[in-house]
Amino acid sequence: MGAVAAALQERGFKVTGSDENVYPPMSIFLEERGIKLKAGYGAENIPADVDVVVIGNAMKRGNPEVEAVLNRKLFYVSLPEVLKNHFLRGRHNLVVTGTHGKTTTTALLAWILEKAGHKPGYLIGGIPKNLGQGARLNDSKYFVIEGDEYDTAFFDKRSKFIHYLPELVIVNNIEFDHADIFNNIDEIKLSFRRLLNIVPQNGMVILNGDDANCVEVARDCRAQMIEVGLSENCAQRIRDPKYSSKGSQFKLGEATFDIPLVGEFNIRNAAMAATAARFYRISDAKIQAALKTFAGVARRLEVRGEARGVTVIDDFAHHPTAIAQTLQGLRHRYPGHRLWAIFEPRSNTTRRAVFQQQLPDALKLADGVVMAQVARLEQIPEEDRLHPEAVVEAIAKAGRPAFYEKNADAIVDLIVPKLKAKDVVAIFSNGGFDNIHEKLLARLKDL
């Protein structure tokens, strides 16, 4: 929302806005561009002469500004509609979708186009380290965008990616997620079918050919299609995957690609991005150069520091599959090291009991596990709530040390005496987790 607000201001619109909390770095970014911000919501924040109100998808009925918009019969739109009408029309839009790997694959693809000299616009749900920012809304003919299946707004329950006018779509994988808006996997598949139904015949769909759900949703797609994967049925088969502590290598066709990322899931992400780049006639040599220099994305297997020989890693993973893949990747990067996993159930799905059975299987891939209390506990009815104590109990029964503590401070108190030199601590949360990374590193340094 902030990046789009700044881009609209640059195009001559006068922009104001409200948020529940206004804080750096976004507040400084917007104020430097002359955008006035209001902390907290109030009907008086909406100017008398407003032309259009953009309503974010976190806004609900009952919000005083939402009610004022409806009562005053103002013209209002969602953020995806703004993107469609002001930034995506008439362009080559490359939309990256899937339950896992969207942010990394989008960042990889944007970096390949950048290194190839195309200066693409992009909108990414993270900060790619090569690019330094998550959004660039320029006038390039190429636009790379992370396509989220989450809903658009309280008044438009379709997935956001339906608005993105795709010429090329990557579908990394499809699993059940977002239990707050989808009832089952079939509803998620329907959203993906609707997306593939608007890809033009001269466009391209790049699918994970190893994922039965991806293959199923593309069955009646009228666009060109390429299946990418490790299995023999894939037209673009990933061959000879190799892993080391420094990264991964794979073959696609006759070309060999190296990436400084670990794990099979990152090989898949890179293969998807490379296949998309080939559709736009970017040479393998340019793709190889871009992949080799990719610096990763903040909060994706990001090393936050080292103290007393203990490495602390921050990762955004919050779905059991993503957690398992990340832990497997860390085994490649840190062979022979003891691996701890600390997990905060914070997403709308992991706070619910949806993954009560799957989470133990994912987390027990670590050598030791600590679970935090479900975030914003009071918002979830007790009968629907994940029970971290039961997750911990199941992991302990599998022979792994496993513990439950309510908050970051208690977790740091618990784990510090157990840590040894060469241990790796992977902290999984899609929120700030009360700055646990810095607290843990500070405590280790004080020993």
Q: What digits encode the pLDDT tens for the residues 197-219?
A: 999 999 999 999 999 999 999 99
Residue type, 341: A
Helix H or strand E segment including 238: strand 236-244
Report the distance separating Cα 50 and Cα 407, nearest Å. Answer: 44
Task: Identify the structural domains of the chain with CATH numbers, from first to last.
Answer: 2-74 (3.40.50.720), 81-292 (3.40.1190.10), 302-446 (3.90.190.20)
Contact 175, 321 (CB under 8 A): yes
Residue 16 to residues 24, 58, 149, 339, 443: CA-CA distances in angstroms?
Answer: 17, 18, 28, 47, 42
Report the distance separating Cα 161 and Cα 149, nearest Å. Answer: 6
SS3 call for 412: helix
Contact 140, 120 (CB under 8 A): yes
Lowest mean pLDDT among 27-41, 89-103, 243-257: 27-41
C-beta neighbour count of 355 within 10 angstroms: 24
Place of tokens 């001269």: 202
pLDDT of res. 169? 98
Nearest in space to 365 (alpha carbons), one of 408, 399, 333:
399
pLDDT score of 24 more than 80: no
3-state DSSP percent of the chain in helix, strand and coil, to 5: 35, 25, 40
pTM: 0.92
Judging by DSSP bridges, how do beta strands 121-123 and 135-136 pair with one another? Answer: antiparallel
Contact 332, 304 (CB under 8 A): no
pLDDT of res. 232? 94
Judging by DSSP bridges, how do beta strands 168-171 and 92-97 pair with one another? Answer: parallel
DSSP conformation class of 40 = S
Structure tokens at 51: 């032309």
Lowest mean pLDDT among 17-31, 110-124, 319-333, 404-418: 17-31
Listed in sequence order, the residues at least 6 apart from 324 whose beta carbon sits closer than 8 Å to its beta carbon are 361, 362, 365
Percentage of residues of the chain with pLDDT beyond 90: 90
57-98 pLDDT per residue, tens: 999 999 999 999 999 999 999 999 999 999 999 999 999 999
Structure tokens at 411: 């977790």
132-169 pLDDT per residue, tens: 888 999 999 999 999 999 999 999 999 999 999 999 99
pLDDT score of 22 more than 90: no
360-403 pLDDT per residue, tens: 999 999 999 999 999 998 989 988 999 999 999 999 999 999 99
Report the distance separating Cα 437 and Cα 447, nearest Å. Answer: 16
**Confidence tier at 270 by pLDDT (50, 70, 90):** very high
pLDDT of res. 127? 87
Contact 356, 391 (CB under 8 A): yes
pLDDT of res. 326? 95
Report the distance separating Cα 56 and Cα 78, nearest Å. Answer: 6
Q: Burial code of 63-80, b = ≥16 C-beta within 10 A, e = fewer?
A: bebbebbeeeeeebbbbb
Report the distance separating Cα 344 and Cα 372, nearest Å. Answer: 5
pLDDT of res. 442? 97
Report the distance separating Cα 182 and Cα 159, nearest Å. Answer: 11
316-345 pLDDT per residue, tens: 999 999 999 999 999 999 999 999 999 999
pLDDT of res. 331? 95
